[in-house]
C-alpha cells in the first residue's frame, strides 16, 4: 500500500519522515517550519510594500506590536530570509536591501549604531565616536542599497531616562530622514509608550498589531496545518472542538506557546508509542502556561 494511503493525515514532507527513527522525527518536529497564517501574511505584504516604496522625504514606517512570544520576530526573520544580501559581481559590492538588528537593552545610540555595523559585517574602530559610526552607516546604506531597517525589541527604548529616550528617538528620525530607508520597529505593548510621547514618532510609524489568538476556525485551521506536518503515524484531529479548545486554553492564545505545546505533545506521542495526540494527553501534559511562569518555582 502506498504511503499516502497509509497516512492520509500527513503532507509529503511528513510522509518522507514517517519511516525515520524516533529521534529523527523528534528533531524534525522540534525544528518546526514556517506557518503562513493570515496576520503573518498581512504583515509580510505590508513590509513588501514598504520595501518597494519610492524614495520620498518622509518614508512610511511600521510599528509592529504583539504580546511576548506571539510570532512577531518569526515574521521579521521570515521577511529577512526572503531578501538576503546579494553580491553584485560587476561592482564587487554586496547589495543588502534589508538590515535587521535588535534594539540595545537601553537607549544607547553608540550601541545601536554598532549593532547596525555588525549586521552589515562592516569593520569599524572600537574607539569610533557616535558621529563617525553614523557617517559610516549612511555611506554603507548608500553603497549597499539598503532600503529597509528592521529594529526588533524597540520597547527597550523606555529602559532609559526621558532624555536618553528622546535622544534615541531623534537618532531614529535622523537616520530615516537622511538615508530615506523605511523602518519597521517591533516590540511588546510597551513599544506604544516608547513612541507615543513623541508626536513626530507616533505620526511617522503606522501601528500594526498581532493580537492573541481566539479559539475559532482560523485557530483550528492552524492546528490542522501543524498536524499535516508532524510525522505521527496516527491522526490526532486537533481541529476537533474539544482538542482545539484544550490547546487554546493551555497556550492562552499565544502563537509561540501553542506551537511549542503541540510540538512537545507530538514528541510525547512518539516516545510513549501512542503516535497520536489525544485530548487526555493535552489535559495532563506537564506544561506551565505563560501567565504562571513568573510565579513558577522549581521544587
- 256-289 confidence digits (pLDDT tens): 999 999 999 999 999 999 999 999 999 999 888 7
Choosing from 166, 187, 209, the residue where a domain stops is 209
This prediction's pTM: 0.90
Choosing from 209, 237, 255, the residue where a domain stops is 209
- On whether both 94 and 226 belong to a single domain, the answer is no
Parts of the chain with a pLDDT under 70: 1, 89, 91, 291, 294-299
- On whether both 218 and 201 belong to a single domain, the answer is no
151 in a structural domain: yes
Choosing from 209, 227, 258, the residue where a domain stops is 209
298 in a structural domain: no
- On whether both 54 and 83 belong to a single domain, the answer is yes
Give the structural domain span for 248.
Answer: 3-31+214-286
Domain count, the chain: 2
- On whether both 24 and 45 belong to a single domain, the answer is no
293 in a structural domain: no
50 in a structural domain: yes
What pLDDT is attached to residue 89? 66
What pLDDT is attached to residue 288? 82
**CB contact at 8 A, 224 and 238:** yes
What pLDDT is attached to residue 299? 41
- On whether both 15 and 110 belong to a single domain, the answer is no
237 in a structural domain: yes
CATH number at residue 130: 3.40.50.300
Amino acid at each position: 500500500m502506498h504511503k499516502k494511503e497509509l497516512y492520509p493525515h500527513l503532507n509529503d514532507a511528513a510522509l518522507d519522515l514517517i519511516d525515520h527513527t524516533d529521534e529523527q522525527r523528534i528533531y524534525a518536529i522540534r525544528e518546526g517550519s514556517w506557518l503562513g497564517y493570515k496576520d503573518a501574511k498581512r504583515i509580510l505584504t505590508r513590509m513588501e510594500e514598504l520595501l518597494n516604496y519610492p524614495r520620498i522625504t518622509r518614508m512610511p514606517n511600521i510599528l509592529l506590536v504583539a504580546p511576548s512570544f506571539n510570532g512577531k520576530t518569526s515574521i521579521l526573520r521570515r521577511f529577512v530570509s526572503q531578501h538576503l544580501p546579494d553580491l553584485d559581481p560587476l561592482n564587487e559590492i554586496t547589495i543588502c536591501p534589508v538590515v535587521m538588528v535588535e534594539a540595545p537593552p537601553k537607549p544607547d545610540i553608540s550601541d545601536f549604531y554598532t549593532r547596525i555595523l555588525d549586521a552589515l559585517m562592516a569593520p569599524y574602530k572600537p574607539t569610533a565616536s557616535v558621529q563617525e559610526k553614523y557617517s559610516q552607516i549612511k555611506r554603507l546604506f548608500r553603497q549597499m542599497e539598503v532600503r529597509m531597517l528592521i529594529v526588533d525589541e524597540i520597547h527597550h527604548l523606555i529602559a532609559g531616562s526621558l532624555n536618553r529616550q528622546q535622544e534615541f528617538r531623534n537618532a531614529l528620525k535622523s537616520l530615516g530622514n537622511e538615508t530615506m530607508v523605511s523602518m519597521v520597529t517591533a516590540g511588546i505593548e510597551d513599544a506604544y509608550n516608547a513612541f507615543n510621547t513623541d508626536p513626530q514618532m507616533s505620526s511617522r510609524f503606522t501601528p500594526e498589531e498581532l493580537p492573541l489568538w481566539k479559539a475559532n476556525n482560523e485557530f483550528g485551521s492552524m492546528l490542522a496545518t501543524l498536524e499535516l506536518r508532524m510525522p505521527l503515524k496516527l491522526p490526532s484531529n486537533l481541529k476537533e472542538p474539544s482538542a482545539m479548545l484544550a490547546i487554546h486554553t493551555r497556550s492562552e492564545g499565544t502563537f509561540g506557546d501553542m506551537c511549542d505545546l503541540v510540538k512537545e505533545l507530538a514528541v510525547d506521542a512518539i516516545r510513549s508509542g501512542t503516535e497520536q495526540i489525544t485530548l487526555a494527553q493535552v489535559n495532563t501534559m506537564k506544561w506551565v502556561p505563560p501567565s504562571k511562569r513568573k510565579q513558577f518555582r522549581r521544587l
